[in-house]
């Protein structure tokens, strides 16, 4: 097999891939950023947020779930696609209650960082104002459903990495919501622990570790200093311990 056969082209850049890799895998390995929220390298992809939409010929596909194939010509960083990504981000904003200034996650939140990255200046769409609950039953971990973007990362992290299956997403349409897989459905009755990946992977302020609020001042948080593009090119599950340590160091600092 010639080398040519194992490359894809993203926005005119030749990128190598190995069979079995998705477009996202290949792009990230080559340090090419495709915006994403529900993808985390090392976890199986889901394909729900659609931020990673790219175009192959005239078809739009999710980069995180589409296998890379020889000679694919892919458009990603185009004004049209970035406009679509911005609109999808706005959709996620209005669906939940994302009042950033009053959220402890502000500055560390990927949804907010994505909005910055895509130049989102307003919500554009009307707010849903859905009634959703807060589960404060657990002594160390807070679950605020109002901010959940249904990205499924905690579900996959708990199942695939922590081996606990603490979370699930259920319901249909706009009634889709996260549940805790425990009798009574409360986090306190689940085996989740603060050291679990599921407790820290949430991209937004839906799952928060308690007793840590505001230890890092606003202005010195991750996305106050880096773009989501920069941080996303760094992350991988194998590094997540490192990541956690780094966050702890940040906190201590």
Partner 1 sequence: MTNSCQHNSFNLPQEHLLHRLHALQQEYLHISPQAMQQVAAEFNLPLSQVAGVVAFYSFFSAQPCGRFHILFSNCTSCGYLPDGQNLMQLLAQQLQVNPGKTRADGLISIGETSCIGLCDQGASLLVNGIPLTHLNPDKITQIAQQITANISTDKWPAEWFEIHDTIYRRNLLLTTQLAPGSALQQAITHGAAETLTTIQQSGLNGRGGAGFNTSKKWQLCREAPGDAHYVICNADEGEPGTFKDRVLLRHHAEALFEGMTICAFIIGANKGSIYLRGEYRYLLSHLQAVLTQRRKHGLLGRHILNHADFHFDIDIVVGAGAYICGEESALIESLEGKPGIPRIRPPFPVTHGYLGQPTVVNNVETLIAAAHIVAHGSSWFNSVGTQKSTGTKILSVSGDCLSPGIYEYPFGVRIQQILGDCGAQRVQAVQLGGPAGKLIGAPDFNHTISFEDISTGGSFLIFGHQRDLLTVHRNFAHFFAHESCGFCTPCRVGTQLLKSNLDKIAEGHGTTNDIETLKQLAFLIQHHSHCGLGHTAANHVLDGLQHFPQVFAAHLNQHFVAQFDLDQALESARQITRRDDATAHLD
Binding site for ligand SF4 (CB under 6 A): 148-154, 178, 201-202, 204, 206-207
Nearer to ligand SF4, 173 or 217 (CB): 173
CB 191 within 8 A of CB 157: no
**Of positions 21, 72, 106, 181, contacts partner 1 by CB under 8 A:** 181
Nearer to ligand SF4, 206 or 222 (CB): 206
Smallest distance from ligand SF4 to CB 152, Å: 5
Nearer to ligand SF4, 10 or 153 (CB): 153
**Partner touching 204 among ligand FES, partner 1, ligand SF4, none, CB below 5 to 8 Å by kind:** ligand SF4
Q: Which residues inside 205-244 make contact with partner 1, applying CB under 8 A?
A: none
CB 49 within 8 A of CB 84: no
Report how far Cα 126 is from the mean position of its chain's Cα atoms: 23
Nearer to ligand FES, 152 or 162 (CB): 152
Nearer to ligand SF4, 11 or 55 (CB): 55
Q: Which residues inside 40-79 make contact with ligand FES, applying CB under 6 A?
A: 47-52, 62, 64
Among the listed residues 127, 75, 112, 122, the one whose alpha carbon sits nearest the alpha carbon of residue 203: 112
Nearer to partner 1, 184 or 219 (CB): 184
CB 237 within 8 A of CB 42: yes
Q: How many residues bind partner 1 (CB under 8 A)?
A: 37
Q: Report d(CA 106, CA 214) in Å as an integer.
A: 10
Instruction: Write down the residue that tokens 């200034």 correspond to.
Output: 101
Among the listed residues 131, 129, 187, the one whose alpha carbon sits nearest the alpha carbon of residue 154: 187
CB 181 within 8 A of CB 131: no
CB 158 within 8 A of CB 192: yes
Among the listed residues 133, 135, 111, 142, the one whose alpha carbon sits nearest the alpha carbon of residue 213: 142
Only segment of 46-54, 98-106, 138-146, 203-211 that touches partner 1 (CB under 8 A) = 46-54
For the chain, how big is the Rg over CA atoms in Å?
Answer: 18
Q: Which residues inside 88-147 make contact with partner 1, applying CB under 8 A?
A: 88, 91-92, 94-95, 125-126, 128
CB-based contacts of 206, cutoff 8 Å, min separation 6: 143, 144, 145, 146, 147, 148, 149, 178
**Of positions 8, 10, 23, 37, contacts ligand FES by CB under 6 A:** 37
Residue 169 binds partner 1 (CB under 8 A) = yes
Smallest distance from partner 1 to CB 120, Å: 14
Smallest distance from partner 1 to CB 253, Å: 35
Which residues are at the interface with ligand FES (CB under 6 A)? 36-39, 47-52, 62, 64
């Amino acid at each position: 097999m010639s080398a040519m056969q194992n490359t894809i082209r993203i926005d005119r850049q030749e990128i190598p891939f190995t069979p079995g890799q998705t477009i996202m895998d290949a792009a990230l390995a080559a340090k090419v950023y495709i915006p994403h929220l529900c993808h985390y390298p090392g976890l199986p992809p889901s394909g729900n947020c659609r931020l990673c939409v790219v175009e192959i010929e005239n078809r739009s596909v999710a980069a995180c779930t589409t296998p890379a194939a020889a000679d694919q010509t892919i458009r990603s960083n185009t004004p049209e696609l970035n406009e679509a990504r911005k609109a999808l981000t706005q959709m996620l904003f209005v669906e939940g209650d994302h009042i950033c200034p009053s959220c402890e996650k502000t500055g560390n939140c990927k949804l907010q960082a994505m909005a910055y990255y895509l130049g989102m200046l307003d919500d554009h769409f009307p707010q849903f104002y859905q009634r959703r609950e807060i589960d404060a039953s657990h002594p160390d971990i807070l679950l605020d459903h109002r901010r959940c973007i249904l990205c499924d990362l905690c579900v996959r992290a708990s199942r695939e990495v922590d081996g606990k299956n603490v979370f699930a997403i259920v319901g249909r349409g706009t009634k889709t919501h996260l549940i805790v897989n425990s009798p009574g459905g409360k986090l306190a009755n689940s085996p989740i622990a603060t050291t679990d990946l599921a407790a820290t992977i949430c991209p937004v302020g839906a799952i928060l570790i308690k007793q840590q609020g505001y230890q890092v001042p606003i202005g010195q948080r991750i996305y106050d200093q880096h773009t989501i593009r920069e941080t996303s090119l760094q992350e991988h599950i194998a590094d997540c311990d490192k990541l956690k340590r780094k966050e702890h160091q940040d906190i201590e600092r």
